[in-house]
Amino acid sequence: AERWTEVPLAPPDAIFKLTAAFKADTYPNKVNLGVGAYRDDNDKPWVLPVVKKATDILVKDPALDHEYLPITGLPEFTSAAARLIFGSDSPVIAEERVTSVQTISGTGANHLGALFLSRFYGWNDKRVYVSDPTWVNHHQIFPLAGIPVSTYPYYDPQTIGLAFGPFLETLKNAAPRSVFLLHACAHNPTGVDPTREQWGQIADVLLEKGHFAFFDCAYQGFASGDLDNDAWAVREFVRRNVPLLVCQSFAKNAGLYGERVGALHVVSPSKEAAVRIKSQLSVLARSEISNPPAHGARLVSLILNNSELFEEWKRDIRTMAGRIIDMRKELHRLLTEELKTPGNWDHIVNQIGMFSFTGISPAQSQALVEKAHIYLTANGRISMAGLNSHNIRYFAESLDKAVR
């Protein structure tokens, strides 16, 4: 018999499918709001000036070779990455209680973190709780590592905000020592983050129940424009001794999507535990990737370890976050002041990060795609990065029509 007849055809990835449909569309004013990558005001990918500078330095270095990195990655990258997320004065770093391993961007950090927990976490109830909704890939990454996924309420369509009460209830009712995946900032896909006070209450319950926080941090700096501000929740949880790990991505904040630069940081109760954890993460990394890619990690390491480049990076981050925030304000202004679009649109300016949940229905989303050539996912999520001074009025007018 023919081989592979039993292999079913998998459905295409929704986002990549949307991008393909956008590319095939010949309408001149088409708009792509599905894209999860930053675009400048001319809808072009933006190479950060600091990344250009770091690339220049790197390629001119006569000592540059193409040897393998260590299994756990470039040490000067992973240590600087840990200081970036936890703060350079963090006691867990001084006490050597952080195990940091370089990963294949944020996706690889999620995967390695999942694999590690799957093997070594002291489970009462083997599952990970993720927000409803969450980055869709979470639903694939964890089962692949042998961890079933459950959801906790997160988004309230009534208020287009946080379903905080039901979220806390789920935290309280979960088996002790459960694992909760939390978006460190700029929640994908809703753009809705807990307030600092709410984070505090979440930490209270996690501590009471002995739960574990699996932080996914894909947007540090990209959300508010400030690296420290966007790391606040993680640092507060560390300060309060919530057991946790952090998945870190440099795709968005350094514009290094294709280089796959990331890290997994596990915080341990002791230096001695951190050493054992590192040994096991090495075994897992060795069998999966042998050692991580060098180029992007070298670039980020140059930027993080050189104060001049670091300051320049912060400026570039403010440029990206600032443009996104300006687009939110302008969209809000167009809808509420100029077009007098029915409904409340305050969530557009209250939400944070690359994405905004508009609150429109799947039928209205579909109408935008079919009638206006504006590409967005059926859940009504738009990438603010796809908006710019040239297309925002067209988008606001089309949205206005779709909801009337």
Candidates 78, 90, 99, 107: give the one binding ligand PMP (CB under 6 A).
107
Active site residue 313: no
Min CB(381)–ligand PMP separation in Å: 11
Burial label, 400 (beta-carbon count in 10 A; 0-12, 13-18, 19+): middle
Min CB(263)–ligand PMP separation in Å: 10
In this structure, what is the dihedral angle of CA atoms 236, 239, 244, 246, given to the nearest 10 degrees?
A: 60
Min CB(223)–ligand PMP separation in Å: 11
Pairing mode, strands 161-162 and 155-156: antiparallel
17-25, 99-107, 113-121, 197-205 -> range binding ligand PMP (CB under 6 A)? 99-107
Candidates 251, 320, 321, 334: give the one binding ligand PMP (CB under 6 A).
251
Min CB(38)–ligand PMP separation in Å: 12
Min CB(183)–ligand PMP separation in Å: 6
Binding of residue 301 to ligand PMP (CB under 6 A): no
The dihedrals phi and psi of 198, each to the nearest 5 degrees, come to -65, -40
75-83, 100-108, 196-204, 360-368 -> range binding ligand PMP (CB under 6 A)? 100-108
Candidates 100, 178, 188, 356: give the one binding ligand PMP (CB under 6 A).
188
66-74, 104-112, 139-147, 198-206 -> range binding ligand PMP (CB under 6 A)? 104-112
Give the footprint of ligand PMP on residues 260-299 (CB under 6 A): 262
Fill in the DSSP letter of residue 252.
T
Q: 151: which strand partners?
A: 130
Out of 216, 278, 313, 316, which one is annotated catalytic?
216
Nearer to ligand PMP, 274 or 354 (CB): 354
With residue 181 as reference, give the H or E element that holds it: strand 179-183
Min CB(135)–ligand PMP separation in Å: 4
Cα distances (Å, whole numbers) of residue 381 to 90, 133, 227, 348, 354: 36, 11, 25, 11, 10
Fill in the DSSP letter of residue 301.
H
Q: Among candidates 280, 269, 289, which has minimal Cα distance to 113?
A: 280
Nearer to ligand PMP, 288 or 346 (CB): 288
Q: Classify residue 87 as left (phi > 0), alpha (psi -120 to 50) or beta.
A: left
Binding of residue 141 to ligand PMP (CB under 6 A): no
The site string for ligand PMP over 192-231 (x = CB under 6 A, - otherwise) reads ------------------------x-x-------------
| CB-based contact 217:247 (threshold 8 Å) | yes
Min CB(82)–ligand PMP separation in Å: 17
Min CB(250)–ligand PMP separation in Å: 7
Binding of residue 388 to ligand PMP (CB under 6 A): no
Looking from the CA of 222 toward its CB, the CA atoms found within 13 Å total: 29
3-state secondary structure of 85: helix
3-state secondary structure of 248: strand
Binding of residue 73 to ligand PMP (CB under 6 A): no
Q: Which residues lie closer than 8 Å to 333 by C-beta, 6 or more apart?
A: none
| CB-based contact 326:320 (threshold 8 Å) | no
Active site residue 232: no
In this structure, what is the dihedral angle of CA atoms 323, 324, 326, 328, given to the nearest 10 degrees?
A: 170
Fill in the DSSP letter of residue 80.
H
Out of 30, 53, 135, 230, which one is annotated catalytic?
135
Nearer to ligand PMP, 109 or 274 (CB): 109
Binding of residue 183 to ligand PMP (CB under 6 A): yes
d(CA 268, CA 91): 12
Out of 193, 252, 316, 345, which one is annotated catalytic?
252
Per DSSP (E only), the strands in 136-269 are 149-153, 155-156, 161-162, 179-183, 212-217, 244-249, 261-267
Active site residue 135: yes
Binding of residue 300 to ligand PMP (CB under 6 A): no
Q: Catalytic positions, please?
A: 135, 216, 252
Q: For binding to ligand PMP (CB under 6 A), which residues are involved? A: 36, 105-107, 135, 183, 188, 216, 218, 249, 251, 262
